[in-house]
């Protein structure tokens, strides 16, 4: 399903190669019958906006949204487990799930990076992709709601995923949470956070060293609930 490759590309850091391929991307969106009609229209408008913007402008906007705080981090387990040790085990299980299905990660990226996850879904049967995506929708819908609150055009990508996989049961609560949140505390305290916090998500796991296909545990996406703004 090339549509998921398209969504992965559009949600990745903008590169010249992606801009040059926008015409091909439009053809995929129009021809593949994966997304809802309204979501196709929204994504085509987003692509048109990309085509009419300078690459540096797109890159600056992307960094400002996704790379300067945790609220919009594009790593699923960041929103599920935070900095707990459970995050490391979840990473290992997801990596093994990929490998058990013949998907090897060559990029220097964590397995729960959403564009990478979408790349994986593009190689799976439609029903399986819908089920896996549905499991992750509470996190993806929260990100989409936060982007919508910021009037970011990127929110249409997450709306398209909702249209494909279905809405999470607690969507209204998710939207209320996004609407009531204050400033991203990571942005407020950026220097202090980066000085004091160590990257510990793989600690105590021993890595993925087995040469045999392991028994793959189900991928657990949902855990820690997002915090609402204190009154």
55 vs 182: which has the higher pLDDT: 55
The mean of the pLDDT values for the chain is 81
CA distance 173 to 224: 14
Please give the structure tokens belonging to residue 97: 């799930």
83 vs 2: which has the higher pLDDT: 2
Q: At what angle do helices 22-31 and 37-51 cross, to 10 degrees?
A: 170
CA distance 186 to 189: 5
pLDDT tens per residue across span 149-170: 999 999 999 999 999 999 988 8
The answer to whether residue 206 is domain-embedded is: no
**pLDDT score at 182:** 74
Query: Given a cut of 90, is residue 35 above it in pLDDT?
Result: yes
66 vs 80: which has the higher pLDDT: 66
The answer to whether residue 94 is domain-embedded is: yes
The answer to whether residue 51 is domain-embedded is: yes
**163 exposed, middle or buried (CB, 10 Å; 0-12, 13-18, 19+)?**
middle
HSE of 154 in the Cβ direction (CA atoms, 13 Å)? 29
Query: Given a cut of 60, is residue 222 above it in pLDDT?
Result: no
The answer to whether residue 8 is domain-embedded is: yes
The answer to whether residue 210 is domain-embedded is: no
The pTM of this model reads 0.77
Q: In this structure, what DSSP letter does residue 113 have?
A: B
**Closest listed residue to residue 87, CA positions, set 196, 204, 194, 8:** 204
The answer to whether residue 111 is domain-embedded is: yes
CA distance 134 to 168: 8
What is the CA 166 to chain-centroid distance, rounded? 16
Task: Report how many domains make up the chain.
Answer: 1
**pLDDT score at 188:** 44
CB 166 within 8 A of CB 55: no
CA distance 226 to 145: 12
The answer to whether residue 140 is domain-embedded is: yes
**pLDDT score at 20:** 95
40 vs 80: which has the higher pLDDT: 40
Boundaries of domain holding 33 = 2-196
Listed range (51-55, 99-103, 108-112, 197-201) with the worst mean pLDDT:
197-201
Q: How confident is the model at residue 184 (pLDDT cuts 50, 70, 90)?
A: low
CA distance 40 to 158: 12
What is the CA 115 to chain-centroid distance, rounded? 6
Query: Given a cut of 90, is residue 187 above it in pLDDT?
Result: no
What is the CA 13 to chain-centroid distance, rounded? 12
% of the chain surpassing 90 pLDDT? 56
The answer to whether residue 212 is domain-embedded is: no
């Amino acid at each position: 399903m090339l549509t998921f490759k398209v969504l992965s590309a559009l949600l990745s850091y903008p590169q010249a190669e992606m801009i040059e391929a926008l015409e091909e991307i439009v053809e995929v969106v129009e021809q593949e019958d994966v997304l809802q009609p309204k979501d196709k229209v929204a994504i085509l408008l987003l692509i048109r906006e990309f085509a009419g913007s300078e690459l540096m402008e797109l890159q600056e906007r992307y960094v400002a949204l996704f790379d300067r705080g945790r609220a919009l981090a594009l790593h699923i387990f960041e929103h599920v487990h935070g900095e707990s040790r459970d995050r490391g085990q979840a990473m290992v299980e997801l990596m093994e799930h990929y490998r058990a299905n013949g998907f090897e990660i060559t990029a220097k990226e964590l397995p729960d990076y959403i564009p990478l996850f979408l790349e994986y879904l593009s190689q799976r049967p439609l029903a399986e992709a819908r089920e896996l995506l549905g499991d992750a929708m509470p996190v993806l819908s929260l990100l989409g709601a936060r982007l919508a609150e910021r009037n970011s055009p990127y929110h249409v990508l997450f709306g398209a995923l909702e249209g494909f996989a279905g809405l999470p049961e607690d969507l209204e609560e998710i939207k209320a949470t996004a609407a009531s949140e204050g400033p991203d505390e990571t942005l407020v305290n950026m220097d202090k956070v980066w000085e004091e916090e160590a990257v510990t998500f793989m600690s105590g796991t021993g890595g993925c060293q087995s040469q045999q296909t392991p028994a793959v545990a189900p991928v657990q996406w949902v855990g820690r609930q997002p915090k609402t703004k204190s009154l």
